[in-house]
Amino acid sequence: MVVDRRDFSVNFLIALLITNKELASRKYARLRVIYIWFDAGEAAFMAEQFVPLLLVISLALIFALLFLGLSYWLGPKKASKLKKTVYECGIPVRGGIEIRFFIRFFLVALLFLLFDLEAVFIYPWAVMYQSMLDGGRMIFALSEMGVFVGILVVGLVYVWKKGALEWQ
């Protein structure tokens, strides 16, 4: 097995993880075995620059669990009828929670999402527009966007004619 810089950094990391106090030669042999296993995940350990990321993630996890656990452990738990009700923005609860939604809402939401998302694609074009004008490619720029908007219009016409916009 070839020993290189990476080899040591990974071993160092493993040592850090299992909080081994010393790398005695006997233990080191075992770590080599672990390292071979870790070899498959080399991509993840490739550079030291990922170590801070790992630290941040584990710190976040530790703190989140710590404070959640503390408040669960230390906090008083006195259940009352009012506390057990569904939270409705602070106002008194009215009616059940299993409300039926009209299916049209979903259709409208879906259509909104579709056209809204596609409008996002116009932004990069708008950003590039001035430079395309400077390059004397106005017709290209306009026809490109024309095709895109044209496809959107066809979609809108289709939705319209199929009756998806009618509220009945």
> Considering the rule CB under 8 A, would residue 48 count as an interface residue with another protein?
no
- Distance between CA atoms of residues 165 and 158, nearest Å: 10
- Distance between CA atoms of residues 101 and 96, nearest Å: 13
User: Applying CB under 8 A, what is the total number of residues that bind another protein?
Assistant: 14
- Distance between CA atoms of residues 158 and 145, nearest Å: 20
Q: 162, 166, 167, 168: which one contacts another protein (CB under 8 A)?
A: 162
3-state helix, strand and coil shares in percent for the chain, rounded to the nearest 5: 70, 0, 30
> Considering the rule CB under 8 A, would residue 39 count as an interface residue with another protein?
yes
113-142 mask for another protein (x: CB under 8 A)? ---------------------------x--
- Distance between CA atoms of residues 113 and 64, nearest Å: 34
Q: 99, 161, 166, 167: which one contacts another protein (CB under 8 A)?
A: 161
* In the complex, minimum distance from the CB of residue 49 to another protein, in angstroms, rounded to a whole number: 13
> Considering the rule CB under 8 A, would residue 29 count as an interface residue with another protein?
no
- Distance between CA atoms of residues 112 and 155, nearest Å: 12
Tokens of 76: 């008083």
Q: What's the one-letter identity of residue 65?
A: L
Q: 1, 43, 53, 117: which one contacts another protein (CB under 8 A)?
A: 43
Contact stretch for another protein (CB under 8 A) within 22-30, 76-84, 110-118, 153-161: 153-161
Tell me which residues touch another protein (CB under 8 A): 39-40, 42-43, 46, 140, 151, 154-155, 157-158, 160-162
